[in-house]
Structure 1
Amino acid sequence: MPRLIFLFLLFLASLLMLISAPAYYLWLLAVMVGEYGLLFIAATLVILTSGGLIKSKYNIVGTFTGILALGMFMSPIIRAYLISRQLPSNIEKELNLQTDHRVEPFTFSKLFQKDATLNYKTFTYANYPDISLTLDFYAAQTKVKRPCVIVIHGGSWSSGDSQQLPELNTVLAGKGYQVASINYRLAPKWHNPAPVEDVRAALIYLKKHADELRIDTNNFVLVGRSAGAQIALLAAYTLKEPGIKGVIDFYGPADMVWGYSLPAPKLVMDSRRVMANYLGGYYPQVPQNYKASSPVEFVNAQTVPTLIIHGANDPLVAYDHSRRLSDKLQQYHIPHYWLKLPWATHGFDHHLNGPGGQLSTYAVERFLERVAPVKGAN
Structure 2
Amino acid sequence: MKRTGLLLLCGALICAGLAACSPVQTLNSVVPVADLTIETLRYGPDARQELDLYAVPGLKAAPTVLFIHGGSWTHGDKSEYRFVGESLARAGYVVGVMNYRLAPQHRYPAYVEDAAQALAVLRTAAPRFGGDPDQLFVAGHSAGGFNAVALVDRHGYLEAAGVPPQSVRGVIGIAGPYSYDYRGFPSRNAFAEGSDPADVMPDRFVRPGAPPHLLLVAADDEVVHPQNALQMEAALRAAGVPVERHVLPGLNHITVAAALARPLAWLGGTRDAVVEFIEARRSQ
What residue in structure 2 maps to residue 286 of structure 1? 195
Matching residue within 249, 258, 278 for 1:350: 258
2: CA distance, partners of 1:141 / 1:183: 24
User: Partner amino acid for 2:195?
Assistant: V
Pairs within 5 Å for 1:294-373:
294-348=201-255, 349-351=257-259, 352=261, 353-354=263-264, 357-373=267-283
What residue in structure 2 maps to residue 76 of structure 1? none
- TM-score norm. by structure 1 comes to 0.60
1:255 maps onto 2:193 in alignment: no
Structure 1 outlier segments of 4+, above 3 Å: 35-40, 114-117, 351-358
**Closer, same or farther: CA 127–39 of 1 in aligned 2, 3 Å:** closer
Pairs within 5 Å for 1:25-64:
36=6
1:127 maps onto 2:40 in alignment: no
**Closer, same or farther: CA 222–294 of 1 in aligned 2, 3 Å:** same
* Structure whose alpha-carbon radius of gyration is higher: 1
1:242 alignment partner, SS class? helix
**How far does residue 339 in structure 1 lie from its aligned partner after superposition?**
1.4
What residue in structure 2 maps to residue 171 of structure 1? 87
- Unaligned residue ranges in structure 1 (runs of 5+): 1-34, 41-113, 264-271
What residue in structure 1 maps to residue 33 of structure 2? 118
1: CA distance, partners of 2:148 / 2:237: 19
**How far does residue 329 in structure 1 lie from its aligned partner after superposition?**
2.1
How many percent of aligned residue pairs carry the same amino acid?
27
Matching residue within 108, 116, 122 for 1:200: 116
Verify the 8 A CA contact 1:221 1:372 in the aligned structure 2.
no
Q: RCO (CA 8 Å, sep 6+): is it higher in 1 or 2?
A: 1
**Closer, same or farther: CA 37–306 of 1 in aligned 2, 3 Å:** farther
- Unaligned residue ranges in structure 2 (runs of 5+): 11-28, 159-164
CA deviations on 1:349-377 (whole Å, 9 max, x unpaired) are 3244557744111111110012224x4xx
Which segment drifts farther, 241-250 or 206-215?
A: 206-215
User: Partner amino acid for 2:272?
Assistant: Y
2: CA distance, partners of 1:132 / 1:304: 28
What residue in structure 2 maps to residue 61 of structure 1? none
**Closer, same or farther: CA 205–355 of 1 in aligned 2, 3 Å:** closer
Verify the 8 A CA contact 2:140 2:174 in the aligned structure 1.
yes
Structure with the largest fraction of helix: 1
Aligned residue-pair number? 249
What residue in structure 2 maps to residue 185 of structure 1? 101
User: Partner amino acid for 1:319?
Assistant: P
1: CA distance, partners of 2:9 / 2:270: 21
